[in-house]
Structure 1
Amino acid sequence: MEARETSQEPLLSPSPLEVEVLYQSPDALLVSVPPEDAYSLDLVLPRFWKSTILPSSPTTYFPVPYEDVEPIRRVLEKLRFNPDIAASVNILDIEQMKSDVRFLTGEDDESGIESRHSFTSGARVAAEWIKMRIEESGAECELWSFMDGFSPDVICRYKPVVPSDTRVIISAHYDSRGSFGRTRAPGGDDDGSGTTSLLAIARAIGRKGIKFHTNVELIAFSGEEQGRLGSIGYARKLKEEGEKIALVVQADMLAYRAPDEPLQLGLPETIGTPEAAQLVANISGLYSRELTVGYTAACCSDHQSFYDLGYPGTQVFERAGPIADPMYHNSGDLSERPGFSFDQLYGISKVQFATLLHVAGFEFSS
């Protein structure tokens, strides 16, 4: 299938925004826009630009406490190959992944989804569908509304079989962005790939009858493309309630493989907990040795919302180095195109799942 922009497609936001430029550099802009336009600024930005809404008052930065990283260090120190974990991660189903991502992009011609932009009906269809699929694995899910007008976060929880006062979060964002606001925003790689990974992990949990020793949440966030709004809202809620988080692993863009490059796993150079990134790298060597592990400056996905509040977190990404996907933030971001690699998506999904099992602790239901 040829992936290209269609100039005849109508725009989501046909009227130009009223923008006042306050500061400009070669790679950044500080602008003032009317409040009603702030949440749709992404519709008129070039594809490599991302918007962040500045708070109206100063915010407090919370460093991750040393003692909160200690559980990750203990897992690192004791990390060994576990055949039960290998057997669990190896049942992830590539054919089902293909079906899931095609539903989310609308390529299956059945879902009717043309866009998963945060304000669209397609995003709400996707949210309901994601919720139902993860519930089938035994999780309890809710559609959590964080802001009027936005599609909700999909928050799914597995209750532990032993008392626990902390949780492990595996997340992605299901909202998407097209070409300068074109109505077609399939988001196959960004971030249908990460969302598909969540679904694959949930299906494997259900098939294997896995029960966790820690609270586990699989979360598909909305509002990421407008500045991580869905994850910021949920992270703040947990912080205000005094909830503990052992680890957050965000999956954002897992499937694009540049020509002549090996299958890869990219870890964040800056934003995230170094010990968490090292744990993910070491686990990759145990369960997905086909992946070449490196570091990337690609940043600012939903794990940052938790990291900024003092929670340990990291991200998994599709390559070392900068973003290379030519369909990034493009209406041609489909799964049926050159470079979209389900083998890479499968490999990184195994790493996420294995990380969850090692950190959360588990057993099989009898």
Structure 2
Amino acid sequence: MAASSVAALSLLLVLPLNSTLFLQSPCLSDNFYGHYKLADSTVGIFKVSTPECIEDSQTRFSVSQATTLVNPPIGSSLLWLEQEAVDDALLQTEPFTPSSFYDSVLGLESTGANGQSVLHLGDNEQRILFSSEQAILVAMRPQAALEVDTILPRFWRSTLLPESPSTYRVVSDDAVEPVRRVLETLRFNPDIASVVNNISLPQIRQDIRFLTGEDGESGILSRHSFTTGALTAAAWIKKNIEESGANCRLELFLEGFAPNVICRYSATKETNDTIIISGHYDSRGSFGSARAPGGDDDGSGTTGILSIARTIGRKKILFHKNVELVTFAGEEQGLLGSRAYARELRAQNASVILMIQADMTAYRRAQEPLQLGLPERIGTPEVTQLIANVSALYSPELRVGYSGACCSDHQSFWEQGFPASQVFERAGPIVDPMYHNSGDLSDREGFDFNQLYAIAKVQFASVLHTAGFEFAAED
């Protein structure tokens, strides 16, 4: 299995998000390891390897702003662990401390049911480089780092730092200009309303039961990125989206992981511009359980993408710009599938003018209205505004607001300078009691198909307004 090894680092800096200062310093902008959540703030991690760069960083950031970390063990992988934005009442049901995590990693040996995964961390060499109540940076042996999500408390998430640093980027004015033009001219379009209202709610119910294994026929026990269930899901997603007229491929990004499913509808006009909408089809279950149905996280976003594809085929839609429907794997291990694809597109100098990720769109707490949550921090403001405005036109039943729940696969594209944002189920923190739990099924209290449907309409309408479209002539 490919390792994300970190070698020959001098120092690591954990710095509060400040794009202006990051871009002004080549020492930082050329040695970027990503954005990470720290409590209610966002930080960047950078490598500094020369005395000049160390001095430059000290000049730009005060001691109180910067956290300086020592060189991790050679050959290890770096893993950022963070507490998610979860409702306080839910968080108190499973308290967690860094020391308890450290002890569990040292002593754990677990074998997954049906031979789907094997985890042995008893001989793990590791080192905690940074620790707070809500975040940890740890150096681990590469194999353990890839599997640590299976032992994390469910309200914590892990992100594997890249094998090598990249260039720090922001979404430029030129990159966001196409979205601004759509915002300026956005009006209700009855043809778009007719298309998005054609999404089939019964089909959504059927699709999600296949992905969770609730239908009793798919045989899917788990869609964890290392399982055969994930491979079954990937092949099934590819087949169904291909039937709508897209060209699809399964793209591997790390040895041992299920692939990304990348489907493309080529433009009818001459253009390099591409719009991407996505979800992640991998899942995470309860500690010690082989079952990971992932109904809400993120069967909801994935079936939303499938419902859009089926409607494209049924309505015989042709796009004026290229449109990609993507379902990622490796999200639960730290956005690994989307990171690989976003980097690939950046290396190609691709023109991605809009990216919208759907992650967890179906859970609704009792007595709360249907909602649409938008990212507070990580994302392009113009894209977020476009989503909000489109929602008012085509799904006015949704109460729109901001959520601190962060971050899904849109972050990978945003970090590469592509305009990107996310749609989520709630204007506020996570409240789903089955979050990262083996009980995350669709047949349960709070799983709201109407909310999933309404949010899928918003994602689809955003594509239709941005890409432009026509209906194919009848045979």
1:9-35 deviation per Cα after TM superposition (whole angstroms, max 9, x unaligned): 849445345243222100011112111
Given candidates 366, 373, 376, the residue that maps to 1:269 is 376
Q: Distance in 2 between matches of 1:65 and 1:21?
A: 36
Partner of 1:122: 229
Choose which of 266, 289, 299 in structure 1 pairs with 2:396. Answer: 289
RMSD: 1.3
Whether the 8 Å contact between 1:173 and 1:224 is mirrored in structure 2 is yes
2:420 paired residue number = 313
**What's 1:278 paired with?**
385
Quick check: 1:198 aligned with 2:314?
Answer: no
For structure 1, which runs of at least 5 residues remain unmatched after alignment? 1-7
SS of aligned partner of 2:277: strand
2:254 to 147, 156, 159: 147
Aligned to 1:254: 361
CA contact (8 A) 2:276 2:326 kept: yes
String of CA shifts for 1:344-364, please: whole Å, max 9, x gaps: 001001001100000011000
Which whole-Å CA distance do the structure 2 matches of 1:111 and 1:119 have between them?
17
Residue in structure 2 matched with residue 4 of structure 1 by the alignment: none
Which has a greater percent of strand?
A: 2
Inter-CA distance 181–62: structure 2 relative to 1 (3 Å threshold):
farther
Q: Which has the higher contact order (CA 8 A, sep 6+)?
A: 1
**1:71 CA drift (Å):** 0.8
Contact 2:355 2:410 in 1 (8 A): yes
How far residue 37 of structure 1 moved from its aligned partner, in angstroms, is: 1.2
Structure 1 segments, 4+ long, off by >6 Å, are none
Q: Does 1:71 align with 2:178?
A: yes
Matches of 2:127 and 2:314 in 1, distance apart?
Answer: 54
User: 1:229 is matched by which residue type in structure 2?
Assistant: L
Provide closer, same or farther for how the CA distance between residues 137 and 63 of structure 1 changes in structure 2, counting only shifts above 3 A: same
- Alignment counterpart, residue 131 of structure 1, candidates 238, 245, 261: 238
Alignment partners' CA distance in 2, 1:15 and 1:235? 31
Q: How does 1:86-125 map to 2 (within 5 A)?
A: 86-125=193-232
The number of residues matched between the two structures is 359
- For residues 114-148 of structure 1, give each alpha carbon's deviation from its aligned partner in whole angstroms, at most 9, with x where no partner exists: 00000000000000000000001000000001111
Task: Tell me how far 1:55 sits from its aligned partner.
Answer: 2.9
Query: TM-score, normalization: structure 1?
Result: 0.96
The amino acid that maps onto 1:174 is Y
Out of 174-183 and 91-100, give the one that drifted further.
174-183
| Amino-acid identity (%) | 62
Match of 1:52? 159
- Aligned counterparts of 2:120 and 2:433: Cα–Cα separation in 1: 27
Go from structure 1 to structure 2 and tell me whether the alpha carbon gap of 1:14 and 1:53 turns closer, same or farther (over 3 Å shift). Answer: closer
Judge conservation of contact 1:9–1:184 (CA < 8 Å) in 2.
no
Q: Relative to structure 1, is the Cα distance of residues 56 and 200 closer, same or farther in structure 2, using a 3 angstrom cutoff?
A: closer
TM-score, normalised by the number of residues in structure 2: 0.74
1:207 aligns with 2:308: no
Is the contact between residue 375 and residue 422 of structure 2 (CA under 8 Å) also seen in structure 1?
yes
> Hey, what does 1:15 align to over in structure 2?
120
Alignment-derived partner of residue 363 in structure 1: 470
Give the counterpart letter for 2:465 in structure 1: H
**Unmatched runs of 5 consecutive residues or more in structure 2:** 1-110
- Mapped to 2, the partners of 1:260 and 1:16 lie a distance apart of 44
Return the alpha-carbon distance in structure 1 between the equivalents of residues 401 and 230 of structure 2.
32
Which structure's CA Rg is the greater one? Answer: 2
**CA 1:34 to 1:199, structure 2 compared with 1: closer, same or farther past 3 Å?**
same
| Equivalent residue number for residue 442 of structure 2 | 335
Structure 1, 8-17 or 303-312: larger mean CA deviation: 8-17
Contact 2:129 / 2:137 at 8 angstroms: preserved in 1? Answer: yes
Please give the per-residue CA displacement for 1:210-244, whole angstroms capped at 9, x wherever unaligned: 00000000000000000111000011111101111
Is 1:33 paired with 2:125? no
What displacement does 1:314 show?
Answer: 0.3
CA contact (8 A) 1:69 1:312 kept: yes
Is the Cα–Cα contact under 8 Å of residues 117 and 226 in structure 2 kept in the other structure? no
Counterpart contact for 1:12–1:181, Cα < 8 Å? no
- Deviation string, structure 1 residues 270-325 (Cα, Å, up to 9, x no partner): 00000100000000000001100000011110000000010000000000111111
Residues 43-86 of structure 1 show CA distances to partners (whole Å, capped at 9, x for unaligned) of 11011111111234433211001111111111111000000000
1:142–1:156 CA contact under 8 A, matched in 2: yes
Task: Determine if contact 1:13/1:43 at 8 Å carries over to the other structure.
Answer: no
Structure 1 pair 38/9, CA: closer, same or farther in 2 (3 Å)? closer
Give the 3-state SS of the residue equivalent to 2:157 in structure 1. coil
For the residues of structure 2 that align with 1:112 and 1:241, how far apart are their CA atoms? 38
Corresponding residue for 1:5?
A: none
Note if contact 1:12-1:182 (Cα within 8 Å) is conserved in structure 2. no
- 2:261 paired with 1:179: no
For residue 258 of structure 1, what is the amino acid of its counterpart?
Answer: R
